[in-house]
Structure 1
Amino acid sequence: MAMTGVLRPGHAVVRVLDLDESVKFYTDVMGLKETGRDNSGRVYFKCNEEHDHNSFVIRKADSAGLDAFAFKVLNNATLNELEGKLKDYGVTTERVPAGEMLETGERVRFKLPTEHVIELYAQKTDVGNGIGYVNPEAFQQGLKGINPLRMDHCLIYGPDIDANRKLFEEVLGFGMVEHILLEDGKTDLATWLSCGTKAHDIAMVRHGEPAKLHHVSFLLETWEQVLRAADIMSMHRVSIDIGPTRHGVTRGTTIYFFDPSGNRMETFCGGNYWYPDMPPITWTWDEVGAGVFYHDRKLNERFLSVVT
C-alpha cells in the first residue's frame, strides 16, 4: 500500500529503575547501539539495521513503565494535517519543540482514551546502519547480543480500547488486523492494528488500570535467531516469561522476557502481512489460549496480569 501518512513506529521511551544496569542490559544482552545521552538523563539506542538516530530511549525513574510511544509520519505537512484531524476529533495536542529529544524534530503529543501518551513526528537524523547506501555488505560484523533488526511494535493495556481503536482508525488511518473476543462474542478483549502491511504496529488489551505497558517488541529475522536469543537470555540469566513459542494471533514466533526493571520485552519474528482490503481475523473466547500461545493452547497467567 502507498504509505503517505503514518509510516511506522518511531520510538519508545521507557522508565527504568537502575540506569547503569539497564544500559548494560540493552547494550550487552539486547545488542542495541547507544547513540547519545541528553541533559535530562535519557539514554538513546537504536537497532543496528535502523537508520534513524534512535528508536528506544530509557530514563531513570521511581517506577518502571512507558512514558510515550511514537510514530514517524511522512513529512511536516502530514504532521500538521494529522494534528488538525486530532483537534477536530476533540483530542488535545501539545507541540514539543525540535531538539527536545536528541536528533528529533518537532513532535505532536497527545493522550489516548486509555491515557497512554502517543507522539507523532516527521524528522529524525539519519545516522545509517553501518553498511551504507551504496554497494552495502550483507551485514555489520562484530555485533553482540541478540541484535534485533528494529524496534517493531508495542502492546498497551487500558480500559477503553474501543475508543483507542476508533481514534487510530478514523484519525490516523490504521486498520484492525486481528482481534480476540470476550465470552459475550461481541466485546473485544484485544485488538491488533497496523498502519502499513505488517501484522501490527500497536496492539491493546482491555484492562482495569489505564496507561499500562505490556511489552515493547524487537524484530528478529528468523526462527533460528529467536532460538539464539533464548540461549543468550539464559547465558545472562534473564527472566523469561514464556517462549520460544508461536502466537496464533499474527502467527509470529516469540519470546517474552523482563528487563532488570521488570519491563516486559519481546523478540518477535515473522507474522502475517496485511492489506486494507482484508477482513480482520477473529479469535473467539473458547480459543483464546491458542490465539495467544499456539503451542500450549492456554494462557500464561503472567501474560494477563503483569504490566508496568
Structure 2
Amino acid sequence: MLRVLDLDESVKFYTDVMGLKETGRDASGRVYFKTHDERDHNSFIIRKADTAGLDCFAFKVLNNATLDELEGKLKDFGVTTERVPAGEMLETGERVRFKLPTEHVIELYAEKTDVGNGLGYTNPEAWLPDTKGINPIRMDHCLIYGPDIDANKKLFEEVLGFTLVERVKLEDGTTDLATWLTCSAKAHDIAMVRHGEPGKLHHVSFLLQSWEQVLRAADIMSMNRVSIDIGPTRHGVTRGTTIYFFDPSGNRLETFCGGYDFYPDMHPTTWTWDEVGAGVFYHDRKLNERFLTVVT
C-alpha cells in the first residue's frame, strides 16, 4: 500500500498510464487496484497522505493454517505481531502484521476474494481487448531501503522460508550492500539495500511479458510526460529488463520483464563492489545519482 499526495491525480495515473483496474474504495479513503491478469480482488492500494512512501508490503500464504504457523514462528523468533480482522481491507481475510528490523511493515494473509481476470475459468480467450496503458501482468516485487538488512535477511530466511538469490558486496568484500530473496520460482520477491534511514521505499515493480512491452511502456511514459529515472535497460542482477520511473507523488516504480527462474538447488550469485554498476545496470555499467539517493 502506497501513500500518495493527490488522490485524484494518482487514480488517473494508475488507471490511464499504468493501466491498472480499480476494484473498489473503502470508508477510510483507500483505493484498490489489480492488474488485468491477476485473479485476486486487489494487489495494489493507494491512500492520500502528507508524504509519499510505503505503508506496508504483503505476502499471500497458502491457507489459514499456514498463517497461524507463520505467526507462531514469528513470535518464537521474538517478533511482535498484530492480527488485523477480516474485512478491515476490502475483500481480504485476517492479516498478520509485523515490523522488520528495518522498520518496514509486512503483512501476511491467506484469503482474498477471487474476482477473476475477465476471461473466465472455462475455455478462456487469450487476452482482453479493453486494456489500456502500460498494462502489466502483476505486481511483482518491491525494493526497500533500511539500516539492518542482515537482520531482515535472517528473518526472511529462518522464519518465512525465503531463499537468498543474489547479493552485492561493499568494498570490504564481506558486508552486503544489497540482497535479493525469493519465496517462489521468481528471481526475487523482495530486495533490500543498506541505507541510513529506516522504513524507506526504493520502488514497487510491475511485471510485463516481453522486451517489446518494456519499450512500449517507455513510449507511453513519454506520451504522458512521466518522469523516467533510467531505462529501458537491463539488470545484471536477475538479468531482467527494466524501466524506473516516478508516479505523480514521487514514488519510484518499475516495469520489469524477464529474469531467470529460480530453483532451490541454485547457489546465490555475488556481485563485487567493483562491478556493482554492471550488476544494477548491465548496459551502462554505472549507477546514476538519483537512483542511489531518491527514496520515499
Instruction: Tell me the TM-score range normalised by the shorter chain.
Output: over 0.9
The equivalent residue for 1:100 is: 88
Tell me, what secondary structure is at the counterpart of 2:153?
Answer: helix
Matches of 2:121 and 2:176 in 1, distance apart? Answer: 44
What aligned pairs does 1:14-93 form with structure 2 within 5 A after superposition? 14-93=2-81
Between the two proteins, the alignment pairs up a number of residues equal to: 296
Q: Secondary structure at the match of 2:127?
A: coil
Match for 1:240 among 183, 206, 228? 228
| 1:1-308 equivalence runs, <5 A | 13-308=1-296
What stretches of structure 1 of length at least 5 have no aligned partner? 1-12
Partners of 2:164 and 2:185 in 1: how far apart? 11
Residue range with higher mean Cα deviation, 70-79 or 274-283: 274-283
- The one-letter code of the counterpart of 2:218 is A
Give, as a single letter, the amino acid of the residue that structure 2 aligns with 1:69: F
| Percent identity for Structure 1 against Structure 2 | 86
In the TM superposition, what is the alpha-carbon distance from 1:279 to its structure 2 partner?
A: 0.8
Separation in 1, partners of 2:191, 2:260: 14
Cα distance per residue 1:255-298 (max 9 Å; x no partner): 00000000000000000111121110000000000000000000
Partner deviation per Cα, 1:160-219 (whole Å, 9 max, x = no partner): 000000000000000000000000000000000000111000000000000000000000
Instruction: Tell me how far apart the structure 2 counterparts of residues 88 and 142 of structure 1 sit (CA, whole Å).
Output: 48
Shift of the alpha carbon at 1:14? 0.2
* Separation of aligned partners in 1, 2:49 and 2:67: 30
Q: Aligned partners of 1:126 and 1:231: how far apart in 2?
A: 32
Unaligned runs of 5+ in 2: none
- The 3-state SS of whatever aligns with 2:56 is strand
- Which runs of at least 4 in structure 1 moved beyond 3 Å after TM superposition? none
Q: In the aligned structure 1, how far is the partner of 2:203 from the partner of 2:121?
A: 32
Query: For residues 183 and 225 of structure 1, what CA distance do their matches in structure 2 show?
Result: 36
Q: CA deviation at 1:252?
A: 0.1
What is the CA deviation profile of residues 76-112 of structure 1, one whole-angstrom value per residue up to 9, with x for unaligned ones?
0000000000000000000000000000000000000
Letter in 1 for 2:190: I
CA distance in 1, matches of 2:130, 2:38: 17
**1:75 partner letter:** N
Opposite residue 19 of structure 2, the aligned amino acid is G
Tell me, in whole angstroms, the C-alpha distance in 1 between the residues paired with 2:263 and 2:175: 24
